[in-house]
């Protein structure tokens, strides 16, 4: 049996990659995603079909990317499609419906209290199997089976100096987050070694050595070596930090400041903070004390999570 896994780069792809061992049917897997440093690194050695990186809510792009999905169905004997979004899920859904191939949609873990736009579209299609990643999110036609945050444990790690840090606002996307970059610069010790992954953020006039994006393998190594991780409250950033054993210091992006399309990062940040999986502060209110609070904890993973059928 062959499972087709569909997700766009960033948090969506990071989530599906983590969930894949628990949900993929059989040993054969083929991926559909965009071609980025993250996807090339994360899916090295996998069978991957690429779509262009597109802006959010690009309906014409959805239709164009169905050509890639149709080619995957033509080249592989697909038995099941699983997607964690975003709009690329709809590109794969169209040919899946035409071929009557079972399609499962796992709503992003970013969506704690409401559905994403893609989820709202999926909600109108009766044949799709729909899942949320929080028991509190179960509703009519949407069930709960698993979450990417299953199995993280937080333990004391002691307090020490901040000598290495990672500051990341995501490696792709069209929204900058200069407020966080500036606040992190003020709070971090001047002598600390810092990886600044700034995405599309304009950092002109800020005295840092910034990169837009780094491969997942390089980012993981930096995260593991860091004393503290500072980032936006995106799912990919949170998962990367937790996977590297760090409780991140997160700041939600603000719609009022033009940093995102909605306020869903507030919901995710609140959920993580309530479970001790993140220290959350406003973007322009980060202090040195906040850095030390986050660095006082370490994260470990359970290895006994069971496969699930979705």
pLDDT of residue 173: 66
User: What is the C-alpha to C-alpha distance for residues 280 and 9, in angstroms, rounded to an integer?
Assistant: 24
CB atoms within 10 A of CB 197: 21
pLDDT of residue 171: 63
What is the average pLDDT score of the chain? 92
What's the fold here for domain 2-144? Rossmann fold (3.40.50)
φ/ψ bin of 285: left (φ > 0), alpha (ψ from -120 to 50), beta (otherwise): alpha
Do 167 and 193 contact (CB within 8 A), yes or no?
no
User: Per-residue pLDDT for 56 more than 90?
Assistant: no
**Average pLDDT score over residue span 99-115:** 93
Among candidate residues 53, 267, 52, 16, the one with its CA nearest the CA of residue 171: 53
Residue ranges of domains in the chain: 2-144, 153-301
Same fold for the pair 2-144 and 153-301: yes
Reported as a single tens digit per residue, the pLDDT across 132-186 is 999 888 998 999 999 999 889 999 998 899 999 999 997 656 789 999 999 999 9
pLDDT of residue 172: 57
Encode 162-184: b = buried (16+ Cβ within 10 Å), e = exposed: beebbbbbbbbbebbbbbbbbbb
User: Per-residue pLDDT for 91 more than 90?
Assistant: yes
**Average pLDDT score over residue span 9-17:** 90
Q: Who has greater pLDDT, 101 or 55?
A: 101
Q: Who has greater pLDDT, 56 or 169?
A: 169
Secondary structure class of 149 (helix, strand, coil): coil
Could you say which of 2.40.50.140, 3.30.1490.190, 3.40.50.2000, 3.40.50.300 is the CATH number of the domain covering 153-301? 3.40.50.2000
């Amino acid at each position: 049996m062959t499972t087709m896994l569909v997700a766009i780069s960033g948090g969506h792809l990071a989530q599906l990659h983590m969930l894949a061992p628990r949900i993929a049917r059989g040993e054969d897997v083929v991926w559909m995603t965009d071609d980025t440093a993250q996807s090339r690194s994360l899916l090295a050695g996998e069978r991957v079909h690429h779509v262009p990186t597109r802006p959010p809510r690009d309906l014409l792009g959805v239709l164009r990317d169905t050509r890639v999905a149709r080619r995957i169905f033509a080249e592989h004997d697909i038995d099941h499609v699983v997607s964690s979004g975003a709009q690329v899920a709809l590109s794969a859904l169209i040919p899946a419906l035409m071929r009557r191939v079972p399609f499962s949609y796992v709503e992003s873990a970013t969506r704690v209290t409401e559905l994403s736009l893609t989820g709202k579209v999926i909600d109108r299609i009766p044949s799709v199997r729909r899942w949320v990643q929080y028991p509190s999110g179960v509703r009519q036609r949407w069930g709960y089976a698993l979450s990417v945050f299953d199995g993280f444990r937080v333990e004391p790690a002691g307090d020490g100096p901040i000598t290495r840090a990672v500051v990341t606002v995501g490696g792709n996307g069209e929204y900058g987050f200069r407020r966080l970059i500036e606040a992190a610069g003020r709070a971090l010790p001047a002598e600390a070694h810092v990886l600044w992954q700034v995405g599309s953020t304009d950092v002109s006039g800020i005295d840092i050595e910034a990169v837009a994006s780094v491969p997942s393998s390089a980012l993981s190594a930096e995260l593991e070596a860091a004393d503290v991780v500072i980032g936006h409250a995106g799912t990919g950033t949170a998962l990367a930090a937790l996977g590297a054993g760090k409780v991140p210091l997160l700041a939600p992006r603000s719609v009022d400041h033009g940093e995102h399309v909605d306020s869903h990062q507030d919901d995710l940040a609140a959920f993580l903070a309530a479970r001790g999986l993140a220290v959350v502060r406003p973007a322009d209110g980060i202090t040195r004390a906040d850095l030390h609070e986050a660095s006082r904890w370490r994260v470990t993973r359970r290895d006994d999570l069971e496969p699930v059928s979705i």
